[in-house]
Structure 1
């Protein structure tokens, strides 16, 4: 899949073979924007724009282009699962090409929303030995509003009690865990969904698997089992019926509506991870200091 999608990558990687050190950056930051922030032909960083602007000369930004859609009616776009899969494939291909061309260079991953979902999956593949580059070549992973944030993921900012709406990555980040920085506003239900909001968790799972990859079937089973296993533990079969009832669904629809009205998902330019330091400023400083 990677080879077939490599043509949609941003920029021109250059001629085959290893480039001279003078033509290579020390760090390449691969930036994956969120849903509706870009497309396969645009170069727009969206929410992450301030975080990846005005970086040192030896940190070069490369945007990963992809559909960045969630529904097939998004102006001819792809369903969420297929859109994210394109971002993952393009990021893997870009990382592999850059490392092959510039062996001394390192890769940083930066993503927001659906882009964080994709960047996190790429990092998890690399960290568990299934990625396109060696774990040692990945120096940083900045995930802003990651829909697959797990409670145990390294967190920058206030403590959280929920998890990503798409469910945690079952295998974690492996060897690159210490390089991961997850940022999530407490009121952002995409990355901090209450664990007892089972209807929303099922909806998130269905979005993640909306374009199923046959090679990921065991992962899908594990994620589904995690949701329904927790439901059964909480009260057996009656709990499943109760949690998936119309009343529970209405409660969560109302909560989701309140969340959208709050603007928590699109206010990271103002959300502070520590006094006087916004989420975007933190990511910028982290990239600048690599």
Structure 2
């Protein structure tokens, strides 16, 4: 009876290799889903104002006065995920009474008359569908983020057309911070919304838990962690999950607006303080507790972020209040 032929060693290794690659793919998807679910969860204190540097762009010729119904300042507020709806009233938002940004916008509306600042809360889908749950009928993140951006940009464009002397303060939390930061990046780099000659009209930008945050690319306020935004950490995994595009760093950063952008990120908030994903196995271990991580929803308390006793929402209100109070007061017809 002849000896049994040994199976080629390469054939025995192939199933193990395929299994290993499959596990890596699953871990990568789990990592994205963990951040996806956290990203959609709910996101300013009082500090001396950090003045923005002057723009290097030449300002265009403007009229001496504008219409009486134009505010001196338009404050554009962009809520986070699950904190808005497409049909919400932008001047009296009620889609989510517990919206984090309401703590800032309501205080500003009470402090200033609408002639000084019109506070406009962008109504948009503000959803983030969980791709692992087939029963989840929410809108995809890409759809939600795009609608929020277009509506915020459209409001600024229309206001600038009718009110050429109006200035702007732009603020956002979480998904809203991504949108607000994208607006600031495009304006600051001359990519639209406002002409490059109108960059000086943007008085300040306030971001809480920005998913595209890069330390050092703006004024990092208070306790500032070394991690990056989730969209940067996961930018190498584009296209793995349909409807969710991790867009990576902003091209050109904030350009001319860099020193007018204030960013708050609590250490441990994986939306803005994520490790760069170079090793899916290690990253999966680091982010395993993301779903139950309470940091992202606690910016109205001093538990995870505070500065001189102020919470993130208190700081943002104080900063925006100072910026609006010191804004130019154009003449009106």
Normalising by structure 1, report the TM-score. Answer: 0.71
Looking at CA atoms only, which structure, 1 or 2, has the larger radius of gyration?
2
What do residues 215-236 of structure 1 show as CA deviations (whole Å, max 9, x unaligned)?
A: xxxxxxxxxxxxxxxx4xxxxx
Match of 2:104 in 1: 51
DSSP 3-state at the match of 1:47 = coil
Mark the runs of 5 or more structure 2 residues left unpaired by the alignment. 1-64, 233-248, 324-333
- Following TM superposition, by how much is the alpha carbon of 1:249 offset from its aligned partner in structure 2, in angstroms? 5.6
- Following TM superposition, by how much is the alpha carbon of 1:248 offset from its aligned partner in structure 2, in angstroms? 3.2
Q: 1:26 aligns with which of 59, 64, 72?
A: 72
What do residues 158-179 of structure 1 show as CA deviations (whole Å, max 9, x unaligned)?
A: 1311010011323200001111
DSSP 3-state at the match of 1:255 = coil
Q: 1:289 aligns with which of 295, 308, 322?
A: 322
Structure ranking higher on relative contact order (CA contacts 8 Å, 6+ apart): 2
DSSP 3-state at the match of 2:157 = helix
Q: Distance between the aligned counterparts of 1:150 and 1:170, measured in 2?
A: 12
Match of 1:113 in 2: 174
Q: How well do the aligned residues superpose, as a CA RMSD in angstroms?
A: 2.0
- Following TM superposition, by how much is the alpha carbon of 1:252 offset from its aligned partner in structure 2, in angstroms? 3.6
Q: Could you say if the C-alpha distance between residues 170 and 20 of structure 1 is closer, same or farther in structure 2, counting changes exceeding 3 Å?
A: closer
Q: Distance between the aligned counterparts of 1:123 and 1:74, measured in 2?
A: 36
On the 8 A contact 1:48/1:112 being kept in 2, the answer is: yes
1:186 and 2:267 correspond: yes
Aligned pairs (5 A) from 1:1-290: 20-42=66-88, 43-44=93-94, 46-55=99-108, 56-57=112-113, 58-71=116-129, 76-133=137-194, 134-153=198-217, 154-167=219-232, 168-195=249-276, 198=277, 231=278, 243-244=279-280, 247-248=281-282, 250-256=284-290, 260-271=291-302, 272-290=305-323
Normalising by structure 2, report the TM-score. Answer: 0.63
DSSP 3-state at the match of 1:107 = strand
Q: Distance between the aligned counterparts of 1:113 and 1:277, measured in 2?
A: 19
Paired residues, number: 222
Runs of 4+ in 1 over 4 A off after TM superposition: 72-76
Mark the runs of 5 or more structure 1 residues left unpaired by the alignment. 1-18, 199-230, 232-242
